[in-house]
A and B are shown apart, each in its own frame.
Chain A
């Protein structure tokens, strides 16, 4: 049952970041938005990935680690509550795999100057890094960079595009 909830949650989170290249696809689950919505606020790192047995949980599409993009409100750079379980899951994974390295790339929507958005994207990336370090990852495992508004995931002068572009990507 727990696994099902996590799978559904992952599916919903994946659906929420549909614009990013969907490397990990969730195939089997049917959407159950009510259950996911209910599960999301309560879930913590403790409820997150299943312990690695044979496969690297990084490759498990049902793991919280499958969520690699965190999203932000306009001009915001604090990791959102909904994204915290995923960031904490990545922190735990990095702590358990000290040889793994990660790159966090910050992005911004185009509502600001190019330079301001570069600074904003960097703060987003650095904010994720801080949370990863708090969660047990080593600072030396994490590199951060910002592209500001220079590499938008979605184009268009509207919230549909902007909401996709205000993000930090975790890249292993």
Chain B
């Protein structure tokens, strides 16, 4: 994979946002066929705290699939104001307007135009409270992405990660662009392994508040949490099955780290691996039939697959080094993982059919990959300038993005599911 061919394009998008969320985003690379698009500033959006068109533009640019074309002072807001001759070289054009209602709600009307066929692709009105401008903008970006690429957009989805500053550890949920951070838990002991419930309503995670690793599940709405596993030794690596009815966790209560299934309320605990060595990091296939996991049963840490209901585990990785943190792609046809060789971690992907490993990154300190819910991007933890940062790479390895938080080190990122609108 020659990724650095595209290194020429580097965009810096700095947010003019509440201090809590300010971060820097760098994008490298570009999709093979970028769609040229113009996002015209919306009528009336200059009266808002944030520019919707700028957020939409940043979202589309980050995907690597669009080439943002400036509007050069032209400001059509209605279809009859568009002079298509002005937009040669642009495939699509977003126009629209914003109205702030007397009750403070913001109503946004947008139209996406096909600048080549000179037709309207769709029109939509969205209204929301004025503290939800980013959510509206992400929704609009999703609509555009879906219309023009055929895949569902993930700009409205959320991610979770741990932000560590000295002895302070915060589990946070943020928009997929790293903005809008909300603290779920803030403690002085380490936090590990956040995992989303399939409906996005809960996070399971591991903390050391009780002096050893304990697994919790917490509601993001009520903030209420339950202990999922607190046996002697280490309780770790929770992950939800896609039907939400069970989780896989890793316990040492019977000896070495082994995989167990448990209900979300902590009941019906059942052991499913019996290797006597280290089995950890389970991940369910989208159909719920299989688990991928990391095991050192062959001598080094490698990735294995086994039926959830028991049966023999089959080794999946053979390309040397050691391999960790497997995650199924949303279509179940491949998996992403961390490949460690010659002192470096790479984010790698492997297709179940071809069994070929493909490196998505150039290597460094890159760990904990997880797919975006549309399978087009992989989020992972990286390091740059001496800090832990968020990074993404497109699943074809072409477009890379790094997100630098304002403060602290980012660890353990995980991409959340699609949310029901």
Residues of A within 8 A of B (CB): 75, 111-116, 118-123, 126, 143-148, 150-151, 157
A114 close to B296 (CB less than 8 A) = no
A150 and B237 alpha carbons, distance in the complex (Å): 14
Taking a contact as CB atoms under 8 Å apart, the answer to whether B325 and A144 are in contact is: no
B300 touches A119 (CB 8 A): no
Determine if B234 and A146 form an interchain contact, defined as CB atoms under 8 angstroms apart.
yes
In angstroms, how far is the closest chain A Cβ from the Cβ of B198? 20
Binds A, one of B51-59, B83-91, B138-146, B206-214: B206-214
Q: CB distance B365 to A145 under 8 Å? A: no
Among B153-161, B173-181, B250-258, B265-273, the one that faces the other chain is B250-258
- A selection of 19 A-B contacts at a CB cut-off of 8 Å is A113-B338, A114-B368, A114-B412, A115-B280, A115-B324, A116-B281, A116-B301, A118-B213, A118-B234, A119-B236, A119-B250, A119-B278, A122-B252, A126-B255, A145-B212, A145-B234, A147-B190, A150-B208, A157-B343
Rank and list the top 10 A-B pairs by shortest CB-CB distance, nearest first.
A113-B324, A119-B257, A145-B212, A150-B190, A119-B278, A115-B237, A122-B234, A113-B325, A115-B280, A115-B281
In the complex, chain A residues whose CB is within 8 Å of the CB of B343 = 157
Also in contact, A113 and B190, with CB within 8 A (given A75-B300, A126-B233, A126-B252): no
- Chain B: minimal CB distance from A1 (Å): 43
The one of A111, A115, A157 in contact with B236, judged by C-beta atoms closer than 8 angstroms, is A115
Complex Cα gap A150–B188 (Å) = 12
Which residues in chain B, 396-420, are within 8 Å of chain A measured between CB atoms?
Answer: 411-412
Per the bound structure, the CA–CA distance linking A116 and B345 in Å amounts to: 14
- Least CB distance from A156 to B in Å reads 11
User: Do A112 and B190 contact each other (CB < 8 Å), given the known contacts A119-B280, A157-B365?
Assistant: no
A114 B367 Cβ-Cβ under 8 A: yes
- Known A-B contacts A122-B234, A145-B213; the reply to A116 vs B250 at CB < 8 A is no
Asked if B281 and A146 make an inter-chain contact with CB atoms under 8 angstroms apart, the answer reads no
Closest chain B residue, CB of each to CB of A159: B343
What's the least CB distance linking A5 to chain B, in Å?
Answer: 38
A145 and B211 in contact, given A115-B192, A157-B365 (Cβ under 8 angstroms): yes
Report the Cα distance A113→B411, complex, angstroms: 11
B301 (CB) vs chain A CBs: closest residue: A116
Tell me, in angstroms, the Cα distance from A112 to B255 when the chains sit together. Answer: 21
- When C-beta atoms are compared, the residue in chain B nearest to A110 turns out to be B365
Residues in B neighbouring A145, C-beta threshold 8 A: 208, 211-213, 233-234
| Cα A89 to Cα B141 with chains together (Å) | 66
A73 to chain B, nearest CB (A): 13
A111 touches B412 (CB 8 A): no
Query: What chain B residues lie within 8 Å of A157 (beta carbons)?
Result: 343, 365
A157 CA / B342 CA spacing, docked (Å):
13
Tell me the minimal C-beta distance from A85 to chain B in angstroms: 26
A115 touches B250 (CB 8 A): yes
**Interface residues as binary, B227-252 with A (CB distance below 8 Å gives 1, 0 otherwise):** 00000111011000000000000101
A120 partner residues in chain B, CB cutoff 8 A: 278
Q: Which A residues are in CB contact (< 8 Å) with B190?
A: 147, 150-151
Is B197 interfacial (CB-CB < 8 Å)? no
Interface residues of B in 303-352 (CB under 8 A from A): 322, 324-325, 338, 340, 343
Nearest-neighbor residue (CB-CB) of B322 within chain A: A112
User: Nearest chain-B residue to A122 (Cβ)?
Assistant: B234
Q: How many Å from the CB of B101 to the closest CB on chain A?
A: 47
- Knowing A118-B236, A145-B211, A146-B213 are in contact, say whether A113-B256 is a contact too (CB < 8 A): no
Q: Are B256 and A115 in contact (CB under 8 A)?
A: no
Bound complex: CA A147 to CA B252 (Å):
14
- A151 to B294 alpha-carbon distance, docked (Å): 22
Q: How far does the alpha carbon of A72 sit from the alpha carbon of B388 in the complex, in Å?
A: 26
